[in-house]
C-alpha cells in the first residue's frame, strides 16, 4: 500500500513538473532568446549599434569600413542577410554594408532577391532606422531617401513587396531641424512611401495630395492599375 501511494505521489510530481516546464516554455520571449544566443556576435553588434549610429551619415562610411573589416568579407554579412530568423535591423545593416562594398552578392545562388527586398520593406514598415529621413521627402522634392533609393534601384522586382504596404497607415516622423519641419508637415504614412516608390519604378506619375483622404484615392487607383498590369 505504501509503495502504491509512493508511485501515485511520483506520478503527480511528474505531471506538475511537466506543466511547469510548459508554462516556462510559453513565457519565453523568442526575440530575447535569439539576442542571448548571439552574445558577442556580429549580429548582436549590428543590433546594438556597437559600431556607432549607422544612420548618422557624417560617420557612416567609417562605420561601414569597420564592419566590413571585422566581418572579413562577404560571407558573415551575407549569412545575416539570408537568415530570416535574424532581426530586421541586423539584416538591413548587413545589406547596406554589402551594397556599398560588394553588391555582387545579389548574384549568389543562396541569395533570393525577393527576400533582400523584403528586408527593406520590413525596415520601412517597422521604422527600423528610427526616422523617416531614411525614406526621403518624396513627391515635391523628388527625394527617395538614402535607404528608400535601394527599393527604387531594385526596380519592378520590388513591386510585390511594396504592394503589401499599401494599406499600412503608420506615420513615421522626421528628425533634425529643417527636415523635421518640412517632413513632419506631410504626415507621410508607410503606404505613402510605398506608393511613391511603386510610381518611381513603373514610371507612373506620382501625384502629391495634401490630405490623407485624397492620397488614399490615388493609392486605390494605383492598386487597380497594378492589378490590370498583372492580367
Give tens-digit pLDDT for 169-178.
Answer: 999 999 999 9
Query: Where are the chain's structural domains?
Result: 31-111, 129-231
Mean pLDDT for the chain overall? 88
Task: Kindly state the percentage of the chain with pLDDT values over 70.
Answer: 83
HEC readout, the chain: CHHHHHHHHHHHHHHHHHHHHHHHHHHCCHHHHHHHHCCCCHHHHHHCCCCCCCCCCCCHHHHHHHHHHHHCCHHHHHHHHCCCCCCHHHHHHHHHHHHHHCHHHHHCCCCCHHHHHHHHHHHHHHCCCCCHHHHCCEHHHCECCCCHHHHHHCHHHHHHHHHCCCCCCCECCCCCCHHHHHHHHHCCEHHHHHHHHHHHHHCCCCCCCCCHHHHHHHHHHHHHHHHHHHC
Give tens-digit pLDDT for 57-67.
Answer: 999 999 999 99
Residue 4 — very low, low, confident or very high, per pLDDT cuts 50/70/90?
very low
Amino acid at each position: 500500500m505504501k509503495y502504491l501511494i509512493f508511485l501515485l505521489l511520483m506520478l503527480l510530481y511528474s505531471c506538475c513538473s511537466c506543466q511547469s516546464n510548459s508554462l516556462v516554455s510559453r513565457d519565453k520571449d523568442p526575440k530575447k532568446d535569439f539576442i542571448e544566443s548571439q552574445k558577442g556576435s556580429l549580429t548582436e553588434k549590428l543590433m546594438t549599434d556597437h559600431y556607432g549610429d549607422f544612420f548618422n551619415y557624417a560617420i557612416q562610411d567609417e562605420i561601414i569600413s569597420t564592419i566590413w573589416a571585422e566581418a572579413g568579407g562577404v560571407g558573415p554579412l551575407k549569412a545575416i542577410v539570408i537568415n530570416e530568423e535574424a532581426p530586421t535591423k541586423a539584416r538591413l545593416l548587413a545589406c547596406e554594408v554589402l551594397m556599398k562594398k560588394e553588391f555582387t552578392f545579389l548574384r549568389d545562388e543562396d541569395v533570393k532577391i525577393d527576400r533582400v527586398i523584403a528586408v527593406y520593406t520590413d525596415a520601412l514598415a517597422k521604422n527600423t532606422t528610427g526616422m523617416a529621413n531614411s525614406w526621403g521627402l518624396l513627391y515635391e522634392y523628388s527625394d527617395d531617401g538614402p535607404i528608400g533609393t535601394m527599393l527604387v534601384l531594385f526596380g519592378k522586382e520590388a513591386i510585390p513587396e511594396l504592394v503589401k504596404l499599401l494599406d499600412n497607415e503608420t506615420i513615421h516622423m522626421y528628425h533634425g531641424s529643417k527636415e523635421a519641419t518640412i517632413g513632419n508637415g506631410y504626415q507621410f504614412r508607410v503606404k505613402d512611401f510605398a506608393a511613391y516608390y511603386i510610381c518611381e519604378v513603373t514610371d507612373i506619375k506620382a501625384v502629391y495630395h495634401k490630405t490623407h483622404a485624397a492620397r488614399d484615392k490615388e493609392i486605390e487607383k494605383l492598386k487597380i492599375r497594378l492589378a490590370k498590369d498583372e492580367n
